[in-house]
Structure 1
Amino acid sequence: MINPAEATGKTKIVKYPFSGEGQARLKANSNGHGEDWPVVYVLSGTKEAYVGETSSASQRIGNHLDNPVRLKTLDSAYIFFNDYFNKSAILDIENMLIEHMHADGKFVLQNLNEGQSKMHNYYQRAFYKDVFNDIWSQMLSKRIGLANHTALAIENSDIFKFSPYKSLTDEQYQTEQVLLSYIANSVSSGNKRTLLVHGGAGTGKSVLAISLLKYLADVLNGNVDYQDLEDLPDDIDFQGSINKTLISCKDRLQRIAFVVPVPAFRETVKRVFSKVKSLKTIDVLSPSDLAHSQPYDLVVVDEAHRLKRRQKLTNYRAFDKCSADVGLSSASTELDWVERQTKGVVVLFYDPLQTLRISDVMRRDFEALEEPGGTNVVSLFNQMRLLAGKNYIDYWESVLSNRPNPLLKPDFKKTGYDFRIYDNCAQMILDVKAKSSECGGLCRTVAGYAFPWRRKMRDKSNQKFDRDYDFEIQGQKYDWNFSRTDWATNPKADDQIGCIYTCQGYDLNVAGVILGPDITFDPIQKRIVVKPEAFLDKNSKDKNDLAKTSENIINAYLVLLTRGIRGTFVYAEDENLRKYLISLF
């Protein structure tokens, strides 16, 4: 049996001229690996590059030489040889190269198709990730010079996490095919349709939304070229039928919008889309931008649970103007704006457990969409963010709802997930900082909205306060985040405590979570008790609806407790709650 561990460090990257002479040299000097052997390759020029895989390098290079665009813009062929390569491995490595090179930014990729668009597991796949890491290290070297940034730095970047070149899980891929089928049928028939995609935290809703938009943009802009692939997809007939329908109805898909309610994430999406030619045709909008625009043929909404209604707003006049602009009363919601401003298909990505503010559209409004005949509903179930798996999220949901289910208790030893509960908050924060060095960044501490923002109040009122900090825990002084947009990546912000609005929709490597005085444990009743009176988020607090406020508090903590990909450290202000959690975990 081949031990792929031996393959690590044994990949040879050989440079050839991208020319007929280079093709001949490859065929003659590759120790038999230029023909009838699986390899990965990169064709590069000054500004552009192409990534591929093949079982016959010399023949494949010849095919590319027949492409006038490649012949004009590319001048070098880098062939990646390894005795332990197989077909599954090179498909995976090809896709990892596309993902990383896109996010690295040294080259603009000419790839029209995103390599292996569907993720799959294969024998000893983890070992080939080590092979890829060695390959990337070589690409960083002066000898090769195909990359600017380390793999770890790239993998911690938003551009990578939300890349349109991401491989989809089987579930995501099948869901995308279902959505494409619905869209094609609706557009061809001329019927308006709403599609609702349910998905909990970490199920990859945003990645799927971006992948769906890229697929549509590629098809509609003529950027899908199956001749560019050495191996056709298994479902080529289905894709061909969908593509044919979409192209035939191209005039009904002229205007496509991606509505992103959360401002910080909207800016991230704009940066991602600006780096992909076909996605520049998609308008990335806020709900108010949509209201002020001409109607769109297709609108995709990410984080639809963050669409607003006319409650607890900072600017009622602007909201009312948007409602009037789309011909609706002031009692309408941003969800109503989306429906009004869409001529064809609306796709909503939604998680009811991430509703956090009083201003968020009510759950019943989304449930009304699901009435028979109104909306097609599809669901994502598989959790793909956290190493701890779906059980970790489900277990927290059961614990915070006072129905702890021991059958859901996650096996941290099995998954390697770093979960800790602390008695000392300061020590937890120090350990999170240490993890940040180990993980290359993206390790931060966050807290429930149960501590005052004294600094913010002082800055607004121009008053002088004796205490130049926001709050204290166990005698230590702390500040809330100064900025929402770059708090997680700013190295100067690692002493700041993040709030729910800095991290919703984003991933951290390790999250330290402070459970504030708004959540406690009653040892007599033996249940978790939420304290709305200790909750300080005026946008999520309704004194006339304490049940809704309590729901928002729990939902916010579920978001905070599911941000850490590799680990979660927990400190609870309430001593009884700390003891209770230790007994459960």
Structure 2
Amino acid sequence: MSNQAIEKLSPFKELTDEQAELVDDVIDFARKHLEQDHPAVYTILGDAGTGKSVVLSQLFARIEKAARIQADSPFYGTHNYFLVNHPEVLKVYKQIAGPIKTLLKKDYQRPTTFINQLDKRNETSDIVVIDEAHLLLSKPDHYNNFYHENQLVEIIKRAKVVILVFDPYQVLRMKSFWTLDRLNELVAPYPHQSYQLKHQFRMTASDELIDWFNNLTDGQIKPLPKNAREHYDFRIFDDAELMRQTIVKRNQEVGLSRILSTSGYPSTLDGGKHYITEGRFKMTWDQYNFTATPWAELPETIDEVGSIYTCQGFDLNYAGIIIGPVISQKPDTNQLQVNLDRFTDTEAFKKRADLTDPDQIIYYEKRMILNALNVILKRGVKGTYLYAHDPLLRKTLVMLDQQLNAE
């Protein structure tokens, strides 16, 4: 495994003053509520790239050090867990834990494993830290051996203190359907506190370009900011194959550069290869990764197109992004439209008993597709390249790029 993913989440990474104060605040919260008769919840909010995970990593390392070797600490002897419902991200945390004496690989688990193992042993836990809480299941999923109604509810039942990070714009599937209102309603009965991280750390892009990405994923096509390329390699392509060739060059130069795409192309979990074709561009979707190394760090994945499921939570140096058939431009407007009939991720939109209003369901489905675009737009640390399948959207984006060049 390369060092980049480990360095990003290392508990030894230097924090900003704001992040360090947040860690202290959460530890103080955990200390106060550890001996209470009821669970307590601390929520850390923030968009992709705002440093939520590194805060959790350092926080958990401090708690576990106190739990295992600091006999005078209120955390000494406590049983604590770090949960993340993303197999690729979990691999990184387990790699981090390996050489650190006060962290054990078994401290890091998938939520379902945590719930089922504690039940089997008839045990509870003290402090539970949850990364990517927006990926927690909010309905039963028998395929993954989860038979309750909501993972967060079940985790709170089995812990004294729960600390989680949450981003409503990273909700991508109906079985993990969350809104901020739903989260707040769930934690309302318990003592709880929250904090919002706002500064974007991942990308070297300007705040104005980040705003442009956010506007795009809210359905608005705005003029590109004048500083779109300031300290950042931002490009728009009208040829997907040329974009691929450029990404290959970046990968040869600095590594960790990959092609990513939204839904809208043939894709099923049948073990076979499914291709994305755009003119002379032809590549396969990402294959299931059985190794301990995250998908983006496998050398052979330069020849695959990454999906939301392999890139969420990870940094790339350069991301070449295909906006697939599921998103197009509404004719005669500067707005995007979501084409649900072109959506090919059949697992994402399974029905829920608690959502029955057809208009509300369509709204949430469209929002999740735009959320997925937002997540992949925020992978590239040094640069982002864009290509759109829809001819009208591609023409508009190329025109905006040319206008920027002419200024």
TM-score, with structure 2 as normaliser: 0.87
Q: 1:451 to 1:217 in 2, by over 3 A?
A: same
Once the two structures are superposed, residues 38-67 of structure 1 have per-residue CA deviations (whole angstroms, 9 ceiling, x without a partner) of: xxxxxxxxxxxxxxxxxxxxxxxxxxxxxx
In structure 2, give the amino acid aligned to 1:297: D
- Flag as ranges the 4+ runs of structure 1 deviating above 6 A: none
- 1:249, distance to aligned residue in structure 2 (A): 5.4
Higher-Rg structure is: 1
**1:497 alignment partner in structure 2:** 305
In structure 1, give the amino acid aligned to 2:204: L
In structure 2, give the amino acid aligned to 1:375: H
- The answer on 1:474 being equivalent to 2:317 is no
In structure 1, give the amino acid aligned to 2:391: E
CA–CA distance in structure 2, aligned partners of residues 195 and 479 of structure 1: 41
Query: Which of 275, 283, 298 matches 2:127?
Result: 298
CA–CA distance in structure 2, aligned partners of residues 283 and 458 of structure 1: 31
CA–CA distance in structure 1, aligned partners of residues 264 and 219 of structure 2: 21
Query: Which of 139, 144, 166 matches 1:350?
Result: 166
5+ residue gaps, structure 1, are 1-102, 104-152, 224-242, 324-331, 460-467
**2:6 alignment partner in structure 1:** 159
- 1:521, distance to aligned residue in structure 2 (A): 0.6
- 1:393, distance to aligned residue in structure 2 (A): 2.8
Q: 1:359 to 1:527 in 2, by over 3 A?
A: same
**1:402 alignment partner in structure 2:** 219
Question: Structure 1 vs Structure 2: percent identity of aligned residues?
Answer: 29
In structure 2, give the amino acid aligned to 1:538: T
Alignment of 1:541-556 (within 5 A): 541=349, 544=358, 545-556=361-372
Could you say what secondary structure the match of 2:348 adopts?
Answer: coil
Query: Which of 130, 134, 146 matches 1:319?
Result: 146
Alignment of 1:174-573 (within 5 A): 174-189=21-36, 191-222=38-69, 247-248=73-74, 250-251=76-77, 254-280=78-104, 283-292=107-116, 293=118, 294-310=123-139, 313=141, 315=143, 318-320=145-147, 323=148, 332-342=149-159, 344-363=160-179, 364-369=181-186, 371=188, 374-403=191-220, 409=225, 411-414=227-230, 416-439=231-254, 441-453=255-267, 457=270, 459=272, 470-484=275-289, 486-541=294-349, 544=358, 545-573=361-389
- 1:219, distance to aligned residue in structure 2 (A): 2.5
Once the two structures are superposed, residues 327-371 of structure 1 have per-residue CA deviations (whole angstroms, 9 ceiling, x without a partner) of: xxxxx21111111111x1000111110000111142143121464
Q: 1:250 to 1:218 in 2, by over 3 A?
A: closer
- 1:457, distance to aligned residue in structure 2 (A): 4.2
In structure 1, give the amino acid aligned to 2:65: D
Q: 1:172 to 1:381 in 2, by over 3 A?
A: same
CA–CA distance in structure 2, aligned partners of residues 563 and 458 of structure 1: 26
CA–CA distance in structure 2, aligned partners of residues 389 and 371 of structure 1: 37
CA–CA distance in structure 1, aligned partners of residues 61 and 310 of structure 2: 27
Q: Which structure ranks higher in relative contact order (CA pairs < 8 Å, sequence separation ≥ 6)? A: 2
In structure 1, give the amino acid aligned to 2:60: L
CA–CA distance in structure 2, aligned partners of residues 285 and 373 of structure 1: 24
- Compute the RMSD of aligned alpha carbons: 2.5
**2:354 alignment partner in structure 1:** none
- 1:220, distance to aligned residue in structure 2 (A): 3.0
Structure 2 contact 39–156 (Cα < 8 Å) conserved? no
In structure 2, give the amino acid aligned to 1:560: I
Could you say what secondary structure the match of 1:434 adopts?
Answer: helix
- 1:583, distance to aligned residue in structure 2 (A): 4.7
CA–CA distance in structure 2, aligned partners of residues 349 and 506 of structure 1: 16
Could you say what secondary structure the match of 2:163 adopts?
Answer: strand
Structure 2 contact 238–398 (Cα < 8 Å) conserved? no
Once the two structures are superposed, residues 450-482 of structure 1 have per-residue CA deviations (whole angstroms, 9 ceiling, x without a partner) of: 11037x5474xxxxxxxx752321143221112
TM-score, with structure 1 as normaliser: 0.62
Structure 1 contact 452–470 (Cα < 8 Å) conserved? yes
In structure 1, give the amino acid aligned to 2:308: I
Aligned length: 384
Q: 1:189 to 1:310 in 2, by over 3 A?
A: closer
Q: 1:389 to 1:540 in 2, by over 3 A?
A: farther
5+ residue gaps, structure 2, are 352-357, 402-407
Structure 2 contact 222–334 (Cα < 8 Å) conserved? no
